[in-house]
Amino acid sequence: MLSCKEVGELLSQGIDRKLKLREKVSLKLHLVICKTCSCYEKQLQFVAHSAHRLMRSNKDGQGIPPLSDEAGIRITRNIKQQLNEEQQQKKPE
Amino acid sequence: MSIECPPGAISDPATWVEQHGDALFRYALMKMRDTSQAEDMVQETFLAALKARNKFAGQSSEKTWLIGILKHKIIDHFRKHKREQSSDDIETLSEQLDQQFDQRGHWDVSLTRWQNPDQAHENEAFWKTFSACITHLPEHLADLFILREIKGMTTEEICKLLDISTTNNMWVMLSRARMRLRNCLDSRWFNHDNKELS
């Protein structure tokens, strides 16, 4: 029988990797009888799901936005400018 | 315009913003919490990478290489501005979390069910709180947690970048990060009245 601490660890790993059948079965057995771990499972899933949404929101969505078009254009311009300067230096008159 | 292609086979720098801009910006914004500072940092990273691109060995992907440069730039920035990033030591961290369980590994605290968690996603204040919770993680956990959600970053690349020796260690760290974030949301959002993280 797994302890709650081990279950907590496995629940998290279940988000990162495919659990082995043996692990899945022992998890299920524990979760049926342990309300606290079932509650923890839902909250852990919520944390993982929220992280996913946070980092992949689009321009109108909530969370961490992507790089704005203005900034993107500005930065690309500066990159190209530095590239040009590099080219100039390679071909001295 | 012809661009030299070094042995590491780097892509055309003129396309970097399009390819990597979002990933770098999101990482920088999570760490710095300020849009214009994050944009500046992304630009600095690209310009530094441009100068150093002949040294790119191709041992990691271009994205990982760029994020590595960005990571160091952000550390330098905080060092210069003397702003301490949270730096709990990993031992005290695991001690703290162990306190949630008794010696036999049973819960020593009671968990309360969260009311309507999905509604939180529609609330802008929730995302602020959640971001703040991530930023308040010990730095290596925050880095790991953020990078894991960035498209195009493989487990191997993340481990290399953050100096994590085995995938198993990474799973354990992620588990700690999630537990801390659960605790943070629990106290700062779901069981909190004015829903603001100071």
Contact (Cβ atoms closer than 8 angstroms) between residue A12 and residue B178: yes
Assess whether pLDDT exceeds 50 at residue B164.
yes
Return the amino acid letter for B165.
Answer: S
Residues B186 and B95 in one domain: yes
Residue-wise pLDDT tens digits, A44-75: 999 999 999 998 876 666 788 899 999 999 99
Residue-wise pLDDT tens digits, A7-55: 999 999 999 999 999 999 999 999 999 999 999 999 999 999 999 999 8
Compare all CA atoms of chain B with the CA of A62 and give the residue at the minimum distance.
B124
Contact residues on chain A for B34, CB-CB shorter than 8 A = none
Task: Show which of residues 48-87 on chain A sit within 8 Å of chain B, judged by CB atoms.
Answer: 48, 50-56, 62-68, 71-72, 74-76, 78-80, 82-83, 86-87
So what's the pLDDT on residue B80? Answer: 82
The angle that helices A4-16 and A35-55 make with each other, rounded to 10 degrees, is 30
Contact residues on chain B for A12, CB-CB shorter than 8 A = 171, 174-175, 178-179
The angle that helices A4-16 and A21-33 make with each other, rounded to 10 degrees, is 130
pLDDT band (50, 70, 90) for residue B59:
confident
CA B195 to chain centroid = 23
A76–B17 C-beta distance less than 8 A: yes
So what's the pLDDT on residue B110? Answer: 85
- Cα–Cα distance measured from residue A81 to residue A78, given in angstroms and rounded to the nearest whole number: 5
Residues B106 and B171 in one domain: yes
Between the alpha carbon of residue B47 and those of residues A27, B22, B70, the distances in Å are 50, 16, 11
So what's the pLDDT on residue B98? Answer: 67
Q: Which residue among B80, B113, B134 closes a domain?
A: B80
So what's the pLDDT on residue A59? Answer: 63
> Average pLDDT, whole number, for chain A?
91
CATH number at residue B110: 1.10.10
Task: Show which of residues 114-173 on chain B sit within 8 Å of chain A, judged by CB atoms.
Answer: 114, 117, 120-122, 124, 127, 130-131, 134, 145-146, 148-151, 170-172
Q: Which residue among B36, B56, B80 closes a domain?
A: B80
Residue B195 is assigned to a structural domain of this protein: no
- Cα–Cα distance measured from residue B8 to residue B81, given in angstroms and rounded to the nearest whole number: 34
- Cα–Cα distance measured from residue B73 to residue B111, given in angstroms and rounded to the nearest whole number: 40
Does B107 lie at the interface with A, CB-CB under 8 angstroms?
yes
Which of B2, B30, B44, B121 to mutate to probe the A interface, most A CBs <10 Å?
B121
Residues B62 and B135 in one domain: no
- Cα–Cα distance measured from residue A62 to residue B126, given in angstroms and rounded to the nearest whole number: 10
Residue B196 is assigned to a structural domain of this protein: no
**Structural domain of B19:** 13-80
B26, B29, B105 member nearest A3 (Cβ): B105
Residue B30 is assigned to a structural domain of this protein: yes
Q: How many CB atoms lie within 10 A of CB B115?
A: 9
CATH number at residue B70: 1.10.1740.10
- Cα–Cα distance measured from residue A41 to residue A44, given in angstroms and rounded to the nearest whole number: 5
Question: Interface pTM (ipTM) of the complex?
Answer: 0.87
Assess whether pLDDT exceeds 50 at residue B67.
yes
So what's the pLDDT on residue A88? Answer: 86
* The total number of structural domains that make up chain B: 2
Helix (H) / strand (E) containing A39: helix A35-55
Contact (Cβ atoms closer than 8 angstroms) between residue B149 and residue A52: yes
Contact residues on chain A for B21, CB-CB shorter than 8 A = 66-67, 72, 75
